[in-house]
Structure 1
Amino acid sequence: MKKLVCVGACYLDTILDVPYYPGEDSKLRATNLQVRRGGNCPNTLQVLQQLLRERPASEHSRDVKPYLISCLPSANAPATATIVDSFGPGSLVDLTRCIFRANHRDPASSYIIRSEATGSRTLVNYNDLPEMTIDEFVTAADEVGDEAWFHFEGRIPETTLQCIRYLRRSFPNTRVSVEVEKPGRGGLEDLAAEADVVFYSRTWAESKRYESAQRCLSAQSGVARKATLLLCTWGSDGASCLSLPSEKAVSCPATLPGQTISVVDTVGAGDTFIAGMLFGLLCHHEDWNTERKVQFAVQLATCKVQRDGFDGVGAEVLKHFGVASSQ
């Protein structure tokens, strides 16, 4: 069984839908309120769990055991129970390697305003939990062991770089992927230079004045010197990838066969794309080529933006790709 370990923050999201984005010092009534678990890696694992469950029994030889390493409040805090329950009954995601902060009751929180007029979203985060230390990561990683795939959100780059270098020294068969997402966060390119697979966001690429996903990947191929695959999402234009060292480039538009795309909820679309790519890389390494993996991930993310939340994401795309369960 393959092991996938995702390392990143876990949030409780409060989402307000509003008719239009409010101006400063104005008053506006929301049309809807939701509270749900968020965070890049937890979102990715929620979608990946659905994909693993939807596969036919004939593919169980490709089983993946997903783990989450995240800092959470005290193990007996109500917020922690909410986070655990959010993965559903009989969850495949192992949370026992999470780091529980005994003196904290409140989770990391994200407040999201979604404009119905434009479809845009504005996020404000708050997190009072102490960040993971390298020693805490080492303890968790040693429990997982060798021959795992570690995916890092790219949070606290200085610590993440130490984590990756520890894995390289202690578990040479480990594969590493990282997210380069937040504009202005220093040290992300140092992480890319150490990873096997790198996921770039459009917002980060544009902050570096790259005018397209392809230009971002071409320029970053000189930075991510150890990588075999670079990927960049670009909103409604889908995503592009660059395989190294062959320098073969692939671009896939955000389309669905026979469907008109109607955007409902873009929160977590990038996380869904990453779930699709990790599913392809881990479960279809031999029978899907790179283009098929990217097509799958793009279609998965496209399905996600057309629904609120993550429930049910993936079944339609798996069926289209011929890997859905008949049950």
Structure 2
Amino acid sequence: MKKQKLVCVGACYVDTILDVPQYPGEDSKLRATNLQVRRGGNCPNTLEVLQQLLREWDDGGRDIKPYLISCLPSADTPATATIVDSFGPKSLVDFTRCIFREDQQQPASSYIIRSEATGSRTLVNYNDLPEMTIGEFVAAAEELGDDTWFHFEGRIPETTLQCIRHLRRSFPNTRVSVEVEKPGREGLEDLAAEADVVFYSRTWAESKRYGSAQQCLSAQSGVARKASLLCCTWGSDGASCLSLPSEKAVSCPAILPGQTISVVDTVGAGDTFIAGMLFGLLCHHEDWDTEKKVQFAVQLATRKVQRDGFGGLGSLGLGLGLGLELERQEVASSQ
């Protein structure tokens, strides 16, 4: 069976995470309770979770081939080795399409202060790596062929728009998903207008004065006119999706009434949701309806915030998926 390709395009960071009792005030001193250094970035996080799901569900990932296109330091630097090694010794992810900046030694870096009092986090990013150009993307995407799914983080919208339009011209059967995440980043709606699937963040939606995920999706359905599916995450309220052109809306809460969870680590929760949705769209496009895909992705992201990092999410995802399948069978047998 021919493998389906998933290509994720976005920045790769090395995260330094400091756990603190509470956020420090300006010009103050505060002792951290823990320090952790790990690989980050939207697309790499998504691929890390997706790789686990593929190993659990897809007999070792035989049917899906994931790729990363990201700007990295020189291929022989310790930073690049750390990034590649972070996916494990038998990674399913192909790094050969990454763009290595041979004159650069340092990776893009993210410094995260995580409050134990609230469970929230503040990020400060630093990235001195030159961004990907359209020419570099064309070269990296060459020979990947038609019938490939490209997922874009949604950074550098002008270049990303050129990339999507190149794919539309050269590979008409390509599917495209994009993230509309960062408030104030001009051009994100232009990307949404060209994509098949769009993922909106709560922070972006609120910057546009949308009061709920449903309101965001309803308004954006007039912008993303080529899309078949729009998704919007909303923190503890879970996520909503809108199927187009049927205009069928589905919402799934992260926390059920009367349920309480202990928030440990929110870094990468949105990336985990996207991994769950891409897994559903790629691997269960026929046997899972939109509601089941959303339920799976939301429940997976909810499990993620209750643990530090991304370890073990593949086996949790297997349990969640089997549980949803049992529910579907029970409903079908009762009808």
Q: CA deviation at 1:55?
A: 1.2
CA contact (8 A) 1:17 1:32 kept: yes
Q: What secondary structure, in the 3-state scheme, does the structure 1 residue paired with 2:313 have?
A: coil
Please, which runs of 5 or more residues in structure 2 have no aligned partner? Answer: 325-335
Distance 1:56 1:9 in 2: 27
Q: What secondary structure, in the 3-state scheme, does the structure 2 residue paired with 1:178 have?
A: strand
Q: 2:44 matched to which residue of 1?
A: 42
TM-score (norm 1): 0.96
Deviation string for 1:18-76 (max 9, x for gaps)?
0010010000000000000000000000000000001164x967x11000000000000
Q: 1:309 matched to which residue of 2?
A: 309
- The number of equivalent residue pairs is 322
Q: 2:176 matched to which residue of 1?
A: 176
- Is 2:319 aligned against 1:319? yes
Distance 1:299 1:98 in 2: 31
- Is 2:20 aligned against 1:18? yes
Q: 2:71 matched to which residue of 1?
A: 71
Q: 1:297 matched to which residue of 2?
A: 297
Q: What secondary structure, in the 3-state scheme, does the structure 2 residue paired with 1:320 have?
A: helix
Q: 2:332 matched to which residue of 1?
A: none
Q: 2:166 matched to which residue of 1?
A: 166
Q: 2:98 matched to which residue of 1?
A: 98
Please, which runs of 5 or more residues in structure 1 have no aligned partner? Answer: none
Distance 2:99 2:257 in 1: 43
Distance 1:314 1:176 in 2: 24
Deviation string for 1:92-132 (max 9, x for gaps)?
00000000000000000000000111111000000000000
Q: Which amino acid aligns with 2:30?
A: L
Distance 2:256 2:66 in 1: 28
Q: 2:262 matched to which residue of 1?
A: 262
Q: 1:30 matched to which residue of 2?
A: 32
Q: What secondary structure, in the 3-state scheme, does the structure 2 residue paired with 1:281 have?
A: helix
Q: What secondary structure, in the 3-state scheme, does the structure 1 residue paired with 2:7 have?
A: strand
Distance 2:304 2:61 in 1: 25
Q: CA deviation at 1:256?
A: 7.3
Q: Percent identity?
A: 85
Q: CA deviation at 1:323?
A: 8.3
Q: CA deviation at 1:320?
A: 3.1
Q: Which amino acid aligns with 1:44?
A: T
Q: Report 1:150-299 matches (<5 A).
A: 150-255=150-255, 260-299=260-299
Distance 1:186 1:198 in 2: 16
TM-score (norm 2): 0.94
Deviating runs (4+, > 6 A) in structure 1?
256-259
Q: CA deviation at 1:262?
A: 1.1
CA contact (8 A) 2:152 2:178 kept: yes
CA contact (8 A) 1:37 1:83 kept: yes
Q: 2:119 matched to which residue of 1?
A: 119
Q: 1:3 matched to which residue of 2?
A: 5
Distance 2:136 2:225 in 1: 28
